[in-house]
Amino acid sequence: MELSIIGRHLEQLGEASTTGFAFQCYPIPGEVEVLRVTVEGREELPLFISVSDDQILCISYLWDESQVDPTRRQAMLEAMLDMNIPMPLSAFARLDDWYVVFGALSLNSALADIEHELAVLSDNCLEVIEDMAEFLL
């Protein structure tokens, strides 16, 4: 699966979107090609898609370590672990100093499945930020 195909599909969905969302896609060139996807109305939480030899990885950056209340950090990490399983199609991770939510799909995933994963990941980001606000500065 190529990022250009995913991007073209998402941008051309319009009324045919099964998720009800409109997407805008921006390729980010580099050593690893990345597609920045914004969901209409949620531009502050873009999704980043990359394709490796064996998976499609979708990531959204939530907050960095400097935004975490140090006195509540341990409680936040425990709350994140507790949320991990009931959060469909997504999981938590940390990249450098950033906390992220991510999902992975098979290279054989249908474009409709990719659209669905991105919508769920975006929904999960909103839920996580709301649920974790008490741990942030």
Q: Report the CATH number that the domain containing residue 48 is assigned in CATH.
A: 3.30.1460.10
Digit-coded pLDDT (tens) for 24-68: 999 999 999 999 999 999 999 999 999 999 999 999 999 999 999
Residue 25: which domain range? 3-135
Q: Is it the case that residue 86 has pLDDT exceeding 90?
A: no
Domain count across the chain = 1
d(CA 117, CA 84) in angstroms, rounded, equals 16
Q: In what order do the strands lie in the sheet with 98-105?
A: 23-28, 34-39, 47-51, 56-64, 98-105, 91-95
How confident is residue 115, by pLDDT bands cut at 50, 70 and 90? Answer: very high
